[in-house]
Amino acid sequence: MDCGIVTSKTVLIFISLVFWAAGAGLAYVGAQLLNSYGTFESFIQNKYMLIPAVVIIGISVAMFIFGLLGCCATMRESKVGLSFFFLIIMVMFAAEVAVLVLGFIYQGKMNGDIDHSMNDVFAKYDGNDPETRTVDYLQIKLKCCGVRNYTSWFNTTWYQSHNSTVPVSCCKNVSTQCTGRLDQLDLLNLEGCEAELEHLVQDLLKYAMLVILGFAVIKFFGMLSVCVIACKSNGRRSGYQPLYA
C-alpha cells in the first residue's frame, strides 16, 4: 500500500478515536464554565460568558457522533463517507476558531462587567437573601473579603448597621472566635474578591481556549489527510484498497 495512504488513514483513524476523548474533554470544560457561571451568576449578569460554553458542549456532542462516522468511512475508504467527514471536520474547525475569537473578545469585556455587578451585590448584602449566600460562598471559597479588599465593606449598609464589622465569611477560619471586627485583622482575609474571581474565570477561559486550539490543529491535519486519500484513490487503477492490505 502507498505510504501516503497508510499514513493518511492512520491519521484519520487516530483522529476518529481521539474524537471521543476530545468530546469528553470539551464537555468537561464547557460544564466547568457553566458551573462557574451558575455559582457566580450574581456577579456576571450578562449572558455572553455562556456563548463559548454552549458552543464547546455542542462541539463535544458532535465529536462523539462523528468520530464513529470517520472511523467507518476511513476503514471502508468510502468516497462519500470521507467527503462528508471532511465537511464535518472543516465545519468543526471553523466553529473552534470562532470560539477562540469569541474567547479573546469576551475576555476583555468580562472584567468591567464583574466589577459593576460585584459592587451592586455587595452593596445589597443583608445576611439573609440568596445573593447574600452567594457573597458568603464567594468569600469563603476564594478566601477574600470585599470587592477590592476588606475596606470595600466600609460604605455598605451591612457595615454601618452591624457595629462596623464585616461578614463572618471574611474570616480565615469561620470556626474560630472571629466575629468580623476590625480589631481582629489577623483573623480576616484582607484581599479583595474581584481580582480572585477574575483570575478564576480567566484561567478557565484560557484552559478552554488552549484545549480548543489543540483540537483545531489536529483537525487541520485531518483535512489534509482526507485530501491525500482522495487524490491517491482517484489515481489508483484498482479503485478500492482495504486498510489491512
List pLDDT tens digits, range 149-166: 999 999 888 888 888 899
Angle between helices 3-39 and 79-123 (to 10 degrees): 20
Does the pLDDT value for residue 114 go beyond 90? no
pLDDT band at 38 (very low <50, low <70, confident <90, very high): low
Does the pLDDT value for residue 243 go beyond 60? no
Specify whether the CB–CB gap between 222 and 14 falls below 8 A: no
142 against 204, higher pLDDT: 142
Give me the residue label for grid cell 452567594. Answer: 134
What's the number of CA atoms in the CB half-sphere (13 Å) around residue 155? 8
Instruction: With 0.85 as the threshold, say if the pTM is over it.
Output: no
Residues 6+ apart with CB under 8 A from 35: none
Specify whether the CB–CB gap between 193 and 199 falls below 8 A: no
Phi-psi group of 163: left, alpha or beta (phi > 0 → left; psi -120 to 50 → alpha; rest → beta): left
Which pairs count as long-range contacts for 196-200, CB under 8 Å and 24+ apart, including other chains? 196/142, 196/143, 196/144, 197/40, 197/43, 197/114, 197/118, 197/138, 197/142, 198/110, 198/111, 198/114, 200/36, 200/142
Helix (H) or strand (E) holding 40: none
Instruction: Quote the pLDDT of residue 110.
Output: 67
The 10s digit of each residue's pLDDT in 59-108 is 888 778 878 777 787 777 777 888 888 888 888 788 888 888 887 777 66
Does the pLDDT value for residue 141 go beyond 80? yes
The 10s digit of each residue's pLDDT in 70-82 is 778 777 777 788 8
Does the pLDDT value for residue 234 go beyond 50? yes
238 against 22, higher pLDDT: 22
Does the pLDDT value for residue 216 go beyond 70? yes
**In angstroms, rounded to a whole number, what is the distance separating the alpha carbons of residues 149 and 144?**
8
Mean pLDDT for all residues in the chain: 79
By the 10 Å C-beta count (0-12 exposed, 13-18 middle, 19+ buried), 51 is classed as middle
